[in-house]
Amino acid sequence: MQQRVAIAQDLVLVGGGHAHVRVLKGFGMRPMPGVRVTLISRDVETPYSGMLPGYVAGHYSFEECHIDLGRLARFAGARLIRDEAIGLDRPGHFVLCRAHPPIRYDLLSIDIGSAPRTDDVPGAAEHTIAVKPIAHFARRWEALLARAERMPKLRLAVVGGGAAGVELALSAQYRLAGLCGAVEVTLVTREALLPSHNRRVRRLFERILAERRVAVLTGSEIVRVEPGALICDNGKRIAFDEALWVTEAGVAPWLAKTGLPLTADGFIAIDETLQSTGDASIFATGDVATMIAHPREKAGVYAVRQGPPLASNLRRVLAGK
């Protein structure tokens, strides 16, 4: 008969992001005796963000670009608590949840991602579709596809000229063109197109967007959103039937009350080990964190790369190394 090992330490993972997927896989393949792993996640399916444009374009189904966290948690021997973290009790080592009693931790890792900022533009939250959280976006996108089949013409606005905005503008245009009579896509950005990319890449996509007849408005900051219209800082109105909001990343408001060191824009400050710069019992990865010595843009590829060292570092701390 297999003997049960007493629980000596609690490892709590908040969020089902890319890095935590790798941690769960690793603990499933090589468990640590005496360590109980708990995953707290609002959704039981986590998206692979790199496949989102393909989903929008119709190349993948919703199921094909999502990972079943329930199945993965079972493989890892982890508890899965379907809930949303809303705060931390750091002195007591508890995660505060919206619908469950506090969850105690010895070691904590936060990988809850980010979402486009809508609170600083009046009307954006009410009248546009934010690309994250992706589960909410997917429901709105499927509803738009159903509407598009009955529309002779559809005007789609995409706010945000970074890589995500460009990818979604092209993917949406491709999908919608096959559903309704005519599609007009307008990409709006307050900066230049693809500002973090080199000139060659920018020119390439300027040409592709022009060939696909996607209108691009650079240097246009949206200051207000009304039902069916974006209002720019220069007074220009951009009419739309639906608008996608793909602007710079924002963070969960509750992080500001944790007492953890944060960057000026609210992200958890971490060092080269992925630990909080102010609390060695807390790790953070992905979009929610910023490595102070080596800052990177908020992109899923970095969370994927952080998965293996996060899993390794968590094991070392749990082993007292």
Look at residues 244, 256, 13, 17 and name the one whose alpha carbon lies nearest to residue 113.
17
> Homologous superfamily of 116-245 in CATH?
FAD/NAD(P)-binding domain (3.50.50.60)
pLDDT-derived band at 135, boundaries 50, 70, 90: confident
> In sequence order, what are the beta bridge partners of 104?
94
Sketch the domain layout of the chain as residue ranges: 9-114+251-318, 116-245
- What is the CATH topology of the domain spanning 9-114+251-318? FAD/NAD(P)-binding domain (3.50.50)
Instruction: Report the C-alpha dihedral over residues 183, 248, 116, 308, rounded to 10 degrees.
Output: 110
With bands split at pLDDT 50, 70 and 90, how would you rate the model's confidence at 178? Answer: confident
Do 9-114+251-318 and 116-245 have matching folds?
yes
Q: What is the pLDDT of residues 224-235, one digit of tens each?
A: 999 999 999 989
In this structure, are residues 112 and 85 in contact, taking their beta carbons and an 8 Å threshold?
A: yes
What residues does 97 pair with on adjacent strands? 85
pLDDT of residue 4: 62
Average pLDDT over residues 216-220: 94
CB under 8 Å to 268, separation ≥6 — which residues? 110, 255, 260, 261, 262, 276, 284, 288, 289, 290
Higher local confidence (pLDDT), 135 or 288: 288
